[in-house]
Structure 1
Amino acid sequence: MSVYAVTTARPNVWTWSSLNADQIRAVIGEVEDMCTGNFIGYNRSFALLKEVSVDPKFGHGRKGGEHLSDVINQTEDLEYHTLERGYFKLRCRESNPYHFKQTSHLNDWFNALEFYNQSTKMISTQQRFDKTAITIKRFEYANLYHTMTDFYNAFRRIHQVPFLEEFKSFFLSRHSVHFNDALDCDNLTVILLLRKDYLAHPRNPSGSVSRKIANDKQLIQKLKELLPRHNVLSSQIDLLSMKDQLSLISRTDILIGMHGAGLTHTLFLPKHAGLVELYPNYWPTANEHFQAMARWRNLKYFQWQNADPSNERANNFTVINTTDVVEMVKNIHALMCN
Structure 2
Amino acid sequence: MASSIQTKTSIFCAILVIALIVSVAYIFDVDGFSIPQILSNSVFSLGGASEVRYTFNEANLTFNKSFFSFRERDYVYFTSAYPIDKEPLATWSKPDNLKRVCDDKLMIYGEHYAMVHDIIFDPRGMYRPEATGGIPLKDLIPIVNQIKPDFARYEPGKGLWKINCNVQPGGWNPAHVPFYGLTSFISKEEWSKLLVSGANGQNITVFSNFTIAFRRGDYANMHQYTMNTFNMFLVMVALRKQPKEITILIVDDAPQTFAFDQAWERAYGPTIHAGHIKSPVLFKNVAWNIHEPFSPMAQYKENEVHYLEDFRSFFIQQHGLNPDYPLDCTRPHVTVIFRRNKVYHLGNIEGNVGRKILNEAEIVSAIKSVIPNVYIRAPLLEVYPMGEQLSIISSTDILVGMHGAGMSHTMYLPRHAGVLEMFPKDFKVNRPWYCVYEAICRWRKLHYISWENRNSSIELPFDQIAIPLEMVVANVKMLYEKICHVHLN
Identify the TM-score tier after normalising by the shorter chain.
0.7 to 0.9
8 Å CA contact 1:39–1:47 kept in 2: the answer is no
Structure 1, unaligned runs of 5 or more: 1-9, 14-20
How far the C-alpha of 1:158 sits from its partner, in A, is 2.4
Deviations 1:61-98 (A, max 9, x none): 52243425246364344464778647433443126885
CA distance in 1, matches of 2:411, 2:363: 24
**Residue deviations 1:211-250 (CA, integer Å, cap 9, x gap):** 1111121111110001241112322222222221111111
Look up the equivalent residue of 1:303 and give its one-letter code.
S
Question: Where does residue 162 of structure 2 map in the other structure?
Answer: 88
Tell me the residue number matched to 1:280.
424
- SS for the counterpart of 1:288 is helix
Greater shift after overlay, 135-144 or 308-317? Answer: 135-144
Matches within 5 A, 1:24-103: 24=92, 34-39=101-106, 48-55=114-121, 62-67=133-138, 68-70=140-142, 72=144, 74=147, 75-78=149-152, 80=154, 85=159, 87-94=161-168
Q: 1:285-310, CA deviations, whole angstroms, 9 ceiling, x for partnerless residues?
A: 75101001111111110011111111
Tell me which residue corresponds to 2:252: none
Greater mean deviation of Cα atoms: 60-69 or 147-156: 60-69
The question of whether the paired residues in 2 share the 8 Å contact of 1:54 and 1:88 is answered with yes
Which residue does the alignment assign to 1:296?
443
1:272 deviates by 0.9
Residue in structure 2 matching 1:262, options 387, 397, 406: 406
In the alignment, which residue of structure 1 is the partner of 2:359? 215
Question: 1:331 — aligned with what?
Answer: 478
What is the identity percentage for the equivalent residue pairs of Structure 1 and Structure 2? 25
Report the RMSD for the aligned CA atoms in angstroms: 4.0
Which of 213, 225, 240 is the aligned partner of 1:147? Answer: 225
1:243 aligns with 2:243: no
> Is this contact kept in 1: 2:103–2:165, CA < 8 A?
no
Structure-2 separation of matches of 1:183 and 1:170: 20
* Paired amino acid for 1:93: V
Contact 2:357-2:465 within 8 A present in 1 as well: yes
How many pairs align? Answer: 317
Distance 1:23 1:225 in 2: 51
For normalisation by structure 2, the TM-score amounts to: 0.55
Q: Does 1:201 find its partner at 2:345?
A: yes
Q: Helix, strand or coil for the counterpart of 1:275? A: strand
Label 1:69 to 1:223 Cα distance change in 2 as closer, same or farther (>3 A): same
Distance apart, 1:317 and its partner CA:
0.9
Q: How far apart in 2 are the matches of 1:176 and 1:169?
A: 11
Question: For the residues of structure 2 that align with 1:180 and 1:231, how far apart are their CA atoms?
Answer: 19
Whether the 8 Å CA contact 2:312–2:412 is kept in 1: the answer is yes
Change (3 A) 1:53 1:36: closer
More helix by share: 2
Q: CA 1:50–1:137 in 2, change beyond 3 Å: closer, same or farther?
A: closer
Q: Report the TM-score when normalising by structure 1.
A: 0.77
Change (3 A) 1:196 1:121: closer
Q: In the aligned structure 1, how far is the partner of 2:402 from the partner of 2:447? A: 16
Partner letter of residue 147 of structure 1? Y
2:464 is matched with 317
Task: Pick closer, same or farther for the CA change 1:90–1:199 going to 2, 3 Å.
Answer: same
**Partner residue, 1:175:** 319
Give yes or no for contact 1:51–1:91 (8 Å, CA) kept in 2: no
